[in-house]
Structure 1
Amino acid sequence: MGTAALPNDPLWPRAGDWPPLDALGAGERADLALLGVPAFSTSLSPTGAHATPAAIRAALRRYNPTLMADRERRGDARSLDDLVFADAGDVGEPDGPEGEARVRAAVAAASARAGTVVALGGDNSLTSPVALGAWGERLATAGLITLDAHYDLRDGVSNGSPVRRLLEAGLDGRRIVQIGIADFVNSREYADRARDAGITVVHRDELHRRPMGDVFAEALEIAGAGGGPIHVDLDVDVCDRAVAPGCPASVPGGISAYELRQAARAAGADQRVESVDLAEVDATADAPDGRTVRLAALCVLEVAAGIALR
Structure 2
Amino acid sequence: MNLTAPPEWEGTSSDPNDEQFGDVVESVAPESAADYDALLVGEPYDGAVIGRKGAVGGPTAIREALAGVKSHHFETGPVASVGDLGDVQVRADSVSEAQAAFQDAAHSVHDLRAVPVFVGGDNSLSYANASPLLERGSLGVVSFDAHLDCREVRGEPSSGTPYRQLFEAGLDALAVVGARHFETSTRYADYLDEQGGRVVTAETVGADPDGALDAALAAMGDVDQVYVSVDVDVLDAAYPGSSAPTPGGLQPRELFRLVRRIAGRPRVAGFEVVETAPPLDTDGRTVDAAARCIAHFLGGYHD
TM-score, normalised by the number of residues in structure 1: 0.86
Q: CA deviation at 1:164?
A: 0.7
Query: 1:200 is matched with which residue: 192, 198, 212?
Result: 198
Give the share of equivalent positions with the same residue, in percent.
31
Alignment match, 1:21: 28
From 229, 232, 250, the equivalent of 1:233 is: 229
Shift, 1:274, TM fit: 1.0
Q: Separation in 1 of the partners of 2:28 and 2:13?
A: 27
Out of 292, 296, 302, the residue aligned to residue 290 of structure 2 is: 296
1:207: how far off? 2.1
Work out whether 1:258 is the aligned partner of 2:253: yes
For structure 1, the 5+ residue unaligned runs are: 71-77
Superposition pairs for residues 29-68 of structure 1, below 5 Å?
A: 29-68=35-74
Taking the aligned partners of 2:195 and 2:30, their CA distance within structure 1 comes to: 43
Partner of 2:180: 182
Q: CA deviation at 1:246?
A: 0.5
The farther-off stretch of 3-12 and 292-301 is 3-12
Q: Distance in 2 between matches of 1:284 and 1:138?
A: 38
- 3-state SS of 1:16 partner: helix
Q: What corresponds to 2:162 in structure 1?
A: 162
Deviations, residues 265-300 of structure 1 (Å, cap 9, x unaligned): 12321121111110111011111x211001111011
TM-score normalised by L of structure 2: 0.88
CA contact under 8 A between 1:148 and 1:237: conserved in structure 2?
yes
Aligned residues: 289
Would you identify which runs of 4 or more consecutive aligned residues in structure 1 move more than 3 Å?
Answer: 3-7
Higher mean displacement: 48-57 or 196-205: 196-205
**Amino acid across the alignment from 1:184:** F
> How many angstroms apart in 2 are the aligned matches of 1:63 and 1:247?
21
1:99 maps to which residue?
Answer: 98
When residues 255 and 68 of structure 1 are mapped into structure 2, their CA distance, relative to the original with a 3 A threshold, is same
How far apart are the structure 1 equivalents of 2:38 and 2:242?
25
- Give the conservation status (yes or no) of the 8 Å contact 1:238–1:254: yes
Cα distance, 1:6 vs structure 2: 4.1
Q: Whole-Å Cα distance in 2 between the matches of residues 4 and 28 of structure 1?
A: 22
Alignment match, 1:218: 215
- Does the CA contact (< 8 Å) of 1:39 and 1:125 recur in 2? no
Please tell me the residue identity of whatever aligns with 1:294.
D
- Structure 2: any 5+ residue segments left out of the alignment? 1-8
CA RMSD of aligned residues (A): 2.2
**Correspondence 1:126 to 2:125:** yes
Structure 2 vs 1, CA of residues 107 and 129 (structure 1 numbering), >3 Å: closer, same or farther?
A: same
C-alpha distance in 2 between matches for 1:85 and 1:208: 31
SS in 2 for 1:184: coil
Rate the CA distance shift 1:222–1:9 in 2: closer, same or farther, 3 A.
Answer: same
